[in-house]
Amino acid sequence: MSANPQRPHLGWNFGLLVMGQGISQIGNNLFSLALLWFVLIKTHNRADLAYVACALTVPNILGLLSGTLIDRMNRWNVMIGSDSIRLILSVVMGLVAVESQNSIIILIVLGVLIQVAGSAFQPAQVAIIPSLVSHELLGRANGINQMVTMGTQIVGMASGGALMAVVGLPTLFFINAATFLFSVITLFLVRQPSHMAELRDRSFWSDWTEGMKIVVYDRLLRRLITIAIIVNFSLAPVMSLDAAWVRQILRQNTFHYGLAGACLMVGVIIGNGLYGALAEKIRPSLVLPIALSVMSFSVICFANIPRFSVFAICLSVFGAFAGAVNTMVFTMVQNHVPAHSIGRVAGTLLALTTASLPLGMSIAGFLARHLSLNWIFSGGGALAFIGVAISIGLRSLASRAKSALE
């Protein structure tokens, strides 16, 4: 009975935020699927595919700076500005694709700019949720947010291949623009907490330094970042060469490529939901080693059994454990870090944990010229077990963090 008064915090404002972000994720997936598949079709080169995927991840590093801007500015305006810029760039991409589908370089540059504009959105969203939801409901709110986001990504991944075959590449870019417009409208409808409009008086670099110190001196955050860097580097080949695996090894088409992505998202939804329901009963020190071990084994499994059914099942299992870890980390950060610093910490955390992706993808692109994909994937899965070893040492740190949450 005492929890009922908190329920409205998962109502109008939070619902609009989640709905807008969820719809825009449909467009994001249509955009990335179309661009990567288009590059593979035009170049017929696995290495080029890996390099483009790498270029699309590099802007995530800008979170090192964008997080500070988020804490200094009105976070709603940051999100609206991010989506507005991406809307315009998506329209331009559609127009370029209509005029000439041979303009690969222009489309790639525009795609990278879209990623740059979006680098501030997720840290801002992570920082905003605690202002909309009570402390006790943060875990549930993050679970719902991730489930809705992944659910709409399934729509994008599952329908992307069929849409690209039916309506063509330019239309997918225009659909992406429409989803960003929807997100902007929902953000305008959200009632902003009054404290979000306050600006900071200190210099940008003073605030940036403060955020970096929080990350550097917090032992739990340091360990989590180290694990994420190793795992992301190890599994980067899966993210950059999955289209080549589906088309050239499994001999499947765009429909199966989209279906494989949907299987991954279904797994993430299941993982988010289970962790959200069992968060109070699960010890983070046990979740990380088990989750990382299963994720690594799933990659090694599908790499050595080249069948689409095995690939789809392994991606679902991989996604389930990745989703649980993702929700847990976001909740820990929101509870562990002061409200006025969440933007900086979230931006820095996202930037550093994804910094290894471009390196891993570049190396995968080089190796793809000389090795078979099953060897590349198997090696990445085996290397990820280093992250498992490090995560075992989180027991004492995770226990302290959980005590802090309580």
- The tens digit of pLDDT for each residue in 142-152 reads 777 877 777 77
- Residue 213 neighbours by CB under 8 Å, 6+ apart: none
- The half-sphere exposure of 164 on its side-chain side, counting CA atoms within 13 A, is 28
Query: What's the pLDDT at 313?
Result: 93
Sign of the Cα torsion 82, 87, 92, 93 reads positive
The C-alpha atoms of residue 385 and residue 369 are separated, in whole angstroms, by 25
DSSP at 200: P
pLDDT tens digits, residue range 284-324?
667 778 888 888 899 899 999 999 999 999 989 988 888 77
pTM for this structure?
A: 0.70
The C-alpha atoms of residue 398 and residue 394 are separated, in whole angstroms, by 6
Tokens of 200: 């900071």
- Identity of the amino acid at 246: V
Query: What's the pLDDT at 372?
Result: 87
Neighbours of 79 (CB within 10 A): 25
CB 259 within 8 A of CB 158: yes
CB 302 within 8 A of CB 315: yes
* Spatial CA neighbour of 169 closest among 230, 112, 103, 73: 103
Query: What's the pLDDT at 181?
Result: 92
3-state helix, strand, coil in the chain (%, to 5): 90, 0, 10
Looking at every residue in the chain, the average pLDDT score rounds to 78
What's the mean pLDDT in 4-13? Answer: 54
* pLDDT higher than threshold 70 for residue 100: no
Query: What's the pLDDT at 193?
Result: 59
The C-alpha atoms of residue 287 and residue 321 are separated, in whole angstroms, by 9
Query: What's the pLDDT at 33?
Result: 77
* pLDDT higher than threshold 70 for residue 399: no
* pLDDT higher than threshold 60 for residue 34: yes
Query: Where would I find the beta strands (DSSP E) of 33-72?
Result: none
For residue 217, CA distances in Å to 211, 214, 232 come to 10, 6, 22
Q: How many residues does the chain have?
A: 406
CB 53 within 8 A of CB 106: no
* pLDDT higher than threshold 70 for residue 282: no
DSSP at 3: T
pLDDT grade, residue 11 (50/70/90)?
low
What's the mean pLDDT in 124-146? Answer: 77
User: Which helix (DSSP H) or strand (DSSP E) does residue 380 occupy?
Assistant: helix 373-383
H-assigned helices in 218-307: 219-244, 254-278, 284-304
Cα dihedral: 63, 329, 128, 182 (round 10) = 80
Long-range contacts of 185-191 (CB under 8 A, 24+ apart): 185/20, 186/16, 186/17, 186/19, 186/20, 186/23, 187/16, 187/17, 187/20, 187/76, 187/79, 187/80, 187/83, 188/80, 189/16, 190/12, 190/13, 190/16, 190/17, 190/76, 191/12, 191/13
CB 299 within 8 A of CB 238: yes
* Percent of the chain residues past pLDDT 90, beyond the cut: 7
- List the domain boundaries for the chain: 4-190+203-405
pLDDT tens digits, residue range 347-389?
877 787 777 777 887 888 888 888 888 898 888 888 888 777 7
DSSP at 11: S
Indicate the SS3 state at residue 228: helix
Among the residue ranges 55-69, 97-111, 185-199, the one predicted with the least confidence is 185-199
* Structure-token match 């993982």, residue found: 271
What's the mean pLDDT in 156-176? Answer: 76
The C-alpha atoms of residue 170 and residue 177 are separated, in whole angstroms, by 11
The C-alpha atoms of residue 193 and residue 373 are separated, in whole angstroms, by 50
* Percent of the chain residues past pLDDT 70, beyond the cut: 85
CATH number of 4-190+203-405, picked from 1.20.1050.10, 1.10.3720.10, 3.40.50.1820, 1.20.1250.20: 1.20.1250.20
Query: What's the pLDDT at 102?
Result: 64
* Spatial CA neighbour of 264 closest among 170, 153, 121: 153
The C-alpha atoms of residue 33 and residue 257 are separated, in whole angstroms, by 9
pLDDT grade, residue 157 (50/70/90)?
low
